[in-house]
Structure 1
Amino acid sequence: MKAKAIKINPSDNVYVALTDLKKGEVLEGIELKTDVPVKHKFAEFDFATGDLLKMYGLTIGKAAQPIQQGEHITTFNVKHVAESYGERVPNLEWHKPDTSKFEGRTFNGFHRADGRVGSANYWLVVPMVFCENQNVEVIKNALLNELGYAKASQFQGYTQSLINAYKNGLDVSALVYEETEQTEEGRGKLFPQVDGIKFLTHTGGCGGTREDAQVLCQLLAGYITHPNVAGATILSLGCQNAQVKLLQDAIAKVDPQFSKPLYIFDQQAIGNEEQMLRQAIKQTFIGLTIANQAKREPAPLSHLTLGVECGGSDGFSGISANPSVGYCADLLSALGGKVMLAEFPELCGVEQELINRCVSDDLADKFTTIQAAYARSAEAVGSGFDMNPSPGNIKDGLITDAMKSAGAAKKGGNSPIFDVLDYTEQATKSGLNLLCTPGNDAECTTGLAGSGANVIMFTTGLGNPMGNPICPVLKISSNSALAERMSDIIDINAGTVITGEKTIAEMGEELLEYCIKTASGEYTPKAVALGHDDFIPWKRGVSL
């Protein structure tokens, strides 16, 4: 008989409901005092006010009032509290996973002059400042359809049917939508080796702090030098804080021998807007002819850089999807690849474990310095990491940030930590890296790609329709119900771990296979197919 509840770690004092449970049921010798919804927790013992609750072997909250054995754990009877952290106590013992299935394996990627290998081949059109967003849109409208990159919307025909019904005096509310086969617009891809042209509009570049402009330039440099990018067209107004020189310096810092095509147009220097746009369109076309010369060639798996994050998490995320991604991350680390674990607000309460896994005191100190500064900046505006769980998280069983973080950290596996990166810093060391980003999903994904991820794995328990312009994003569901309900955005169902159909190790190996196929262009993630090109730079303010 399938278990109805589990205790994740032997030292835990709460159970996780694997299905909806009713008051009066007896599980593990405990009579439930209340109904307990699926994914939520119930008390193993009686708790007095102030007693600590444990999950994953970590403190995830404290009792705000007496809690009876078998009672539902809620935001009313439990409050956030996280374990403190201090000096590094090295714990680098790591039982590497069996990598025999992947030894000698390769993926087919785009080899760049700096030695990195891309999983895709894109051209970028980037504004230095929001004032140029409209001109970017003009270039987009001029190029996408004519070059064969535009995608027909499945709703165009639907809108026309609504118009026809209205004109013919029919009841529009009674109209039934009939799905039709989607077709590509345009004339076929003129440049088959170019996966697309991506337009990174944003709201920054001027009007904020000088730090905002500097960080934006560093982020854009990460995208322009990215192995998934063949070259870029830059639009500058001329007077903005984010000066072209800042961008050029940031590019040189990432890649001193930078040799990709880079075309820069300054509107105030050129003068006439139409003239500038004609020049930009022509030069972009020329750049695409160069980008189209690239070919996929085999590369060892050590050239994969995997970014991991979660969004719309639920009470199963830390049990199925996240540890499965963590096993995949350990496999890739053992094979010499790079892994980036982000979302620092969602590492609250697991800091000491991560500190102990750092390979040096200097790295541990860098992590604690960044984490403490981030926490202080949140508290300074009346917020804090404890406010991270969203209403959706709470509804589906993640009621404190420490509980959420303990499960979220599982995406990073168990390997030693070889580097700690602040926002926009590049991943250069093999193995696990910690990357400071917000928990905000789009800002995090934007940051992972900006630091060099050429594939991103995004776990979700509630569903999240987002992606990235240049880095393929694989969506992994924590539960089978979500995978079925939102099959249009979910690539892989890790809910089979909950049902017992697969082990975490088996799912982790399957995820690495998906990663290899994606990096080789053999599998197109649904976020890519749907055009989910979310690009939201973090302004280093409080974002949880």
Structure 2
Amino acid sequence: MSRKILQIHPLDNAIVALTDLEKEEVFELNGKTIQLLESIPAKHKFCIQDLAPGDLVIMYGVTVGKAQSFISKGALLNTINIKHDSADFELTPGKYTWTPPDISVFAEKTFLGYHREDGQVGTANYWVVIPLVFCENRNVETIKEAFLEELGYAKPNPYKNLVRQLVQQTQTKEAAAEQVLERIKTTPANRVFENIDGIKFLTHQGGCGGTREDAEMLCQLLAGYIHHPNVAGATVLSLGCQHAQANILQEKLRELNPDFKKPLLIFEQQQSGTEEQLLYRAITDTFQHLNQANAISRKPASLSKLRIGLECGGSDGFSGISANPVLGHVSDLLTALGGSAVLAEFPELCGVEQELINRCVDEQKAAKFTQLMRAYSASAEAVGSGFDMNPSPGNIRDGLITDAIKSCGAAKKGGTSPVTDVLDYGEYIQNPGLNLLCTPGNDVESTTALAGSGCNIILFTTGLGTPTGNPVSPVVKVSTNNRLAERMPDIIDFNTGPVISGEKTIEEMGEELFKKIIRIASGIESTKAMDLGQDDFIPWKRGVSL
């Protein structure tokens, strides 16, 4: 088959253009001749048979849309002539058989991690400073300004010098930018605490107002961050009168670990006197505990201690055939080694529910997934929306014209292994293997949740370019295509474009990516989001977010 087009599944009547195709180009596929009736942009799809109104559009072997008008063989599929459609699903889990991939290359490998008393292993060693309510955000920012530069964690800002030089008008904008950016590349780290990778400050807009359930869910999420294997301890600022009370946070921590022993410093402003007194105590006590947290160092750990989150954002028409399947192979390798992989973004599993139900290890897990999917879909429909409205303008422009097309490609991140657990938002990883985590499709809301559930590495595929990072979990940005990797090298960590060009297989790229993950988990390499200080944190309030 020509590398210019791709039929993903033998049943598909929608074919992917791997490069820009010209009108009247002719292709032979499965003994049939298809002449294009119009130009087809790369990443978009054309049909290989005439479709009447109401006929189903098939990709990945499943329904991804329905024809809205007559569509001729060789015509472009777009948002006018097809609309989202997907097959229904039911709770009928069957016996699923799985052949694990060959893991001999990784069987004896380890990573260098931070071992915690509860048996978790971190890929980093952070201290977190967290407000229980938005009223404390300014105090958190004050502590941040006091700590980061003095302790050597501040990210130098080359643009300050650029603005100064522009004001002085001593150099051109281009020359100033070039000199300053070059200087920043050679700025040495001057960290006071060698074994602490950073102090992370998680501000948010929650904790009061809304519903009591919102506050409780926020406390559960924050407890997940404090319990996270990449976190050595936490400083928590509370106003005192808000819904998200310190005792709720402590209760959620005890639920995660009845024998919780990490340092947890809680300061309540309404009981502390002046703001100056609050900040003096918080900074002094935190500094003393940073000294203690610095005593831990990296030691070898089994790869089974890796918990990898699987995310996609700024997806394109290549996501489901390059980067996402590569992540799927990484997921299969990790689960075969006894580790955990977590597939999130429930609005982007629309159309593949039955496959995932069939992969669940027992009926209880399948029932939980079914209930969460139906409830989420119903809540969206109740406000006049729906999963069909998930694709963004960027998704649509680059070939993901229905939610089912996007979802079928997104689900490839989960590989082929059995589903060992299903987690609601805020629930923490308990079982090795492939977990499904209920989150929105929104990039940051989802990555925030993946870290809160205990993922100590997050893999993030993108076809358009997304800078998303996370405060406590390294986010590895994986490009779907060569052009993006070349255009935005400052945010892309790994490129799966060679899968599209046919230079490498999904399995080859998966093994390369897994080796890179081990280096990042060991602190040998950093991610681009870490280098940029991209610490995105947005809790989900369980409203409708697609």
Task: State the TM-score, normalizing by the size of structure 2.
Answer: 0.97
In the TM superposition, 1:470-509 aligns within 5 A as 470-509=472-511
- Given that 1:162 and 1:175 are in contact with CA atoms closer than 8 Å, whether structure 2 keeps it comes out as no
Report the counterpart of residue 250 of structure 2 in structure 1.
248
- How much does 1:156 deviate? 1.6
Separation in structure 2 between the aligned mates of residue 241 and residue 357 of structure 1, nearest angstrom: 40
> 2:104 corresponds to which letter in structure 1?
S
Report the counterpart of residue 12 of structure 2 in structure 1.
12
- How much does 1:91 deviate? 4.1
> 1:388 corresponds to which letter in structure 2?
N
- How much does 1:178 deviate? 2.5
Report the counterpart of residue 335 of structure 1 in structure 2.
337
Counterpart of 1:280 (choices 277, 282, 285) is 282
The 10-residue stretch of structure 1 (354-363 or 509-518) with the greater mean CA deviation from structure 2: 509-518
Task: State the TM-score, normalizing by the size of structure 1.
Answer: 0.97
- Given that 1:145 and 1:187 are in contact with CA atoms closer than 8 Å, whether structure 2 keeps it comes out as no
Size of the alignment, in residue pairs?
540
The 10-residue stretch of structure 1 (134-143 or 153-162) with the greater mean CA deviation from structure 2: 153-162
- How much does 1:186 deviate? 9.7
Separation in structure 2 between the aligned mates of residue 187 and residue 235 of structure 1, nearest angstrom: 29
Separation in structure 2 between the aligned mates of residue 505 and residue 324 of structure 1, nearest angstrom: 7
Report the counterpart of residue 437 of structure 2 in structure 1.
435
Counterpart of 2:221 (choices 219, 222, 236) is 219
Report the counterpart of residue 234 of structure 2 in structure 1.
232
> 1:110 corresponds to which letter in structure 2?
Y
Report the counterpart of residue 99 of structure 1 in structure 2.
103
- Given that 2:21 and 2:41 are in contact with CA atoms closer than 8 Å, whether structure 1 keeps it comes out as yes
Counterpart of 2:94 (choices 90, 93, 99) is 90
- Given that 2:166 and 2:173 are in contact with CA atoms closer than 8 Å, whether structure 1 keeps it comes out as no
Separation in structure 1 between the aligned mates of residue 126 and residue 95 of structure 2, nearest angstrom: 41
Report the counterpart of residue 408 of structure 1 in structure 2.
410
Counterpart of 1:209 (choices 201, 208, 211) is 211
Report the counterpart of residue 264 of structure 1 in structure 2.
266
- Given that 1:12 and 1:54 are in contact with CA atoms closer than 8 Å, whether structure 2 keeps it comes out as yes
Question: Structure 2 vs 1, CA of residues 212 and 91 (structure 1 numbering), >3 Å: closer, same or farther?
Answer: same
In the TM superposition, 1:286-435 aligns within 5 A as 286-435=288-437
Counterpart of 1:156 (choices 137, 156, 160) is 160
Matched, 1:66 2:80: no
The 10-residue stretch of structure 1 (91-100 or 276-285) with the greater mean CA deviation from structure 2: 91-100
- Given that 1:307 and 1:341 are in contact with CA atoms closer than 8 Å, whether structure 2 keeps it comes out as yes
- Given that 1:80 and 1:402 are in contact with CA atoms closer than 8 Å, whether structure 2 keeps it comes out as yes
Separation in structure 1 between the aligned mates of residue 113 and residue 395 of structure 2, nearest angstrom: 37
- How much does 1:179 deviate? 3.7
**1:481-525 Cα shifts (integer Å, max 9, x gaps):** 000000110000001100111100011111111111111111101
Separation in structure 2 between the aligned mates of residue 31 and residue 439 of structure 1, nearest angstrom: 37
- Given that 2:133 and 2:244 are in contact with CA atoms closer than 8 Å, whether structure 1 keeps it comes out as yes
SS of residue paired to 1:260: coil
- How much does 1:183 deviate? 6.0
- Given that 2:137 and 2:203 are in contact with CA atoms closer than 8 Å, whether structure 1 keeps it comes out as yes
Report the counterpart of residue 539 of structure 2 in structure 1.
537
Separation in structure 2 between the aligned mates of residue 415 and residue 198 of structure 1, nearest angstrom: 34
Separation in structure 2 between the aligned mates of residue 184 and residue 229 of structure 1, nearest angstrom: 29
Matched, 1:459 2:458: no
SS of residue paired to 2:209: coil
> 1:195 corresponds to which letter in structure 2?
D
Separation in structure 1 between the aligned mates of residue 185 and residue 516 of structure 2, nearest angstrom: 26
Report the counterpart of residue 178 of structure 2 in structure 1.
178
SS of residue paired to 2:460: strand
- How much does 1:150 deviate? 0.7
- How much does 1:286 deviate? 0.7
- How much does 1:346 deviate? 0.1
Separation in structure 1 between the aligned mates of residue 35 and residue 99 of structure 2, nearest angstrom: 38
- Given that 2:34 and 2:74 are in contact with CA atoms closer than 8 Å, whether structure 1 keeps it comes out as yes
- How much does 1:155 deviate? 1.1
- How much does 1:104 deviate? 1.7
Matched, 1:145 2:155: no
Separation in structure 1 between the aligned mates of residue 234 and residue 196 of structure 2, nearest angstrom: 13
Separation in structure 1 between the aligned mates of residue 368 and residue 189 of structure 2, nearest angstrom: 52
Separation in structure 2 between the aligned mates of residue 385 and residue 509 of structure 1, nearest angstrom: 33
Separation in structure 1 between the aligned mates of residue 372 and residue 331 of structure 2, nearest angstrom: 23
Structure 1 residue ranges, 4+ long, deviating more than 4 angstroms after superposition: 172-176, 183-187
Separation in structure 2 between the aligned mates of residue 81 and residue 151 of structure 1, nearest angstrom: 47
Separation in structure 2 between the aligned mates of residue 456 and residue 293 of structure 1, nearest angstrom: 26
Report the counterpart of residue 134 of structure 1 in structure 2.
138
Identity of aligned residues (%): 60
RMSD, aligned α-carbons: 1.4
- Given that 1:110 and 1:121 are in contact with CA atoms closer than 8 Å, whether structure 2 keeps it comes out as yes
